[in-house]
Structure 1
Amino acid sequence: MNKALLINAKTSGNGININLLSHNYKITYPKKIWVSLPNDFKKIFLDNLVYASTNFLPLMLKKNKIVYNTNPPILENLLYKNVLFDLINCERGDHKPHLAYLKNFYNLEFLFASQESTLPKTTDWQTNEKTVIVPFTFGKESLATVALCQEIGLKPILVYCQEPSQPYEEKYKLKALKKFSQEFGLTYYFLKNDPGLFRYGKAFNFKKPTEIGWGTQTTVLALMMLPFAYKHKAKYILFGNEYSNNEYNWKNGWKEWLSYDQTNENIINQDNMVRLLSNDQVKIRSTFQPLEEINIFFLLHHRYPEYGKYQFSCIAEEPLLKNSQWCHNCYKCALMFLFAECCKIDHQKIGFKKNLLNLPNLYDHYFGKKFAAGSNKELDFSFYILHNRQHSSNYLKQFKKEKLPKTKTWSYYLKYYTSQKSYTNLPEKFENKMLKIFTEELSHFKNVIAK
Structure 2
Amino acid sequence: MDELNTDEIVRKFLNTEFIFEAPEIRYPSSNPVKDAHKAVIGMSFGKDSLLTYAVANELGLDPEIVYIVEQSLTYEEKHKKNLASKFKTEFGKELQILTHETGKLRDYAHLGMPKSEFGWGLQNTEYTLELIPFAYALHAKYILFGNEQTTAASYMDDANKWTIYPAYDQSHLWTVHLNQVSQAFSGRSVLTGSLIEPLMDMMIQYMLAHRYPEMAKYQMSCFTENEFGADYHWCHHCNVCAKMYLLCVGSGIDPPAIGLREDMLKKEFKEFYTLFGGKTSLTYLNTGIARDEQLFAFYCAARKGVKADLVEIFKESELYQEAKEREDELIKIFCSIYDSISVPKNLKDNLISIYKEEISSFEF
TM-score, normalised relative to structure 2: 0.89
- Structure number having the greater strand percentage: 1
Instruction: Give the match for residue 50 of structure 2.
Output: 143
Determine which of 336, 339, 360 is the counterpart of 2:269: 360
Please state how far the C-alpha of 1:323 moved relative to its aligned partner: 6.9
Give me the whole-angstrom Cα distance separating, in 1, the residues matched to 2:344 and 2:196: 10
**Structure 1 pair 393–441 and aligned structure 2 pair: CA distance change class (3 A):** same
Give me the whole-angstrom Cα distance separating, in 2, the residues matched to 1:178 and 1:387: 38
Specify the SS of the correspondent of 1:215.
coil
Whether contact under 8 Å (1:200, 1:210) holds in the other structure is no
Determine which of 163, 176, 179 is the counterpart of 1:255: 163
Determine which of 64, 86, 98 is the counterpart of 1:191: 98
Instruction: Say whether 1:396 aligns with 2:347.
Output: no
Whether contact under 8 Å (1:164, 1:194) holds in the other structure is no
Opposite residue 363 of structure 1, the aligned amino acid is F
Give me the whole-angstrom Cα distance separating, in 1, the residues matched to 2:200 and 2:72: 27
Instruction: Say whether 1:425 aligns with 2:345.
Output: no
Instruction: Say whether 1:221 aligns with 2:127.
Output: yes
- Summarize the alignment of residues 195-274 of structure 1 with structure 2, pairs less than 5 Å apart: 195-199=102-106, 201-206=108-113, 208-251=114-157, 252-274=160-182
Specify the SS of the correspondent of 2:141.
strand
Opposite residue 269 of structure 2, the aligned amino acid is P
Whether contact under 8 Å (1:289, 1:426) holds in the other structure is yes
Please state how far the C-alpha of 1:411 moved relative to its aligned partner: 1.2
Opposite residue 427 of structure 1, the aligned amino acid is P
**Structure 1 pair 113–347 and aligned structure 2 pair: CA distance change class (3 A):** closer
Determine which of 229, 236, 240 is the counterpart of 1:332: 240
- Summarize the alignment of residues 153-192 of structure 1 with structure 2, pairs less than 5 Å apart: 153-192=60-99
- Summarize the alignment of residues 24-43 of structure 1 with structure 2, pairs less than 5 Å apart: none
Instruction: Give the match for residue 14 of structure 1.
Output: none
Whether contact under 8 Å (2:156, 2:162) holds in the other structure is yes
Instruction: Say whether 1:386 aligns with 2:296.
Output: no
Give me the whole-angstrom Cα distance separating, in 2, the residues matched to 1:430 and 1:203: 42
CA deviation string 1:328-379 (max 9, x = no partner): 0111111111111112222223222210111334424332243322322211
Instruction: Say whether 1:119 aligns with 2:34.
Output: no
Instruction: Give the match for residue 76 of structure 1.
Output: none
Determine which of 274, 280, 284 is the counterpart of 1:370: 280
Quote the RMSD (CA, aligned, Å).
2.3
Give me the whole-angstrom Cα distance separating, in 1, the residues matched to 2:357 and 2:40: 26
Please state how far the C-alpha of 1:398 moved relative to its aligned partner: 4.5
Q: Percentage identity across aligned positions? A: 31
Please state how far the C-alpha of 1:320 moved relative to its aligned partner: 4.9
Instruction: Give the match for residue 348 of structure 1.
Output: 256
Instruction: Give the match for residue 353 of structure 2.
Output: 436
**Structure 1 pair 434–394 and aligned structure 2 pair: CA distance change class (3 A):** same
Please state how far the C-alpha of 1:389 moved relative to its aligned partner: 3.4
Please state how far the C-alpha of 1:402 moved relative to its aligned partner: 5.2
Please state how far the C-alpha of 1:404 moved relative to its aligned partner: 3.9
CA deviation string 1:144-186 (max 9, x = no partner): 1111122121111111111211111212211221220231122
**Structure 1 pair 287–404 and aligned structure 2 pair: CA distance change class (3 A):** same
CA deviation string 1:61-119 (max 9, x = no partner): xxxxxxxxxxxxxxxxxxxxxxxxxxxxxxxx111123220111112234557988443
Opposite residue 187 of structure 2, the aligned amino acid is N
Specify the SS of the correspondent of 2:224.
coil
Could you list the runs of 5+ residues in structure 1 that have no partner in the other structure? Answer: 1-92
Please state how far the C-alpha of 1:321 moved relative to its aligned partner: 5.6
**Structure 1 pair 187–351 and aligned structure 2 pair: CA distance change class (3 A):** closer
Size of the alignment, in residue pairs?
353
Please state how far the C-alpha of 1:130 moved relative to its aligned partner: 2.8
Instruction: Give the match for residue 415 of structure 1.
Output: 332
Instruction: Give the match for residue 297 of structure 1.
Output: 205
Opposite residue 280 of structure 1, the aligned amino acid is R
- Bigger Cα Rg: 1
Pick which of 398-407 and 96-105 moved more. 398-407
Specify the SS of the correspondent of 2:99.
strand
Specify the SS of the correspondent of 2:122.
helix
Give me the whole-angstrom Cα distance separating, in 2, the residues matched to 1:225 and 1:115: 22
Opposite residue 289 of structure 1, the aligned amino acid is E
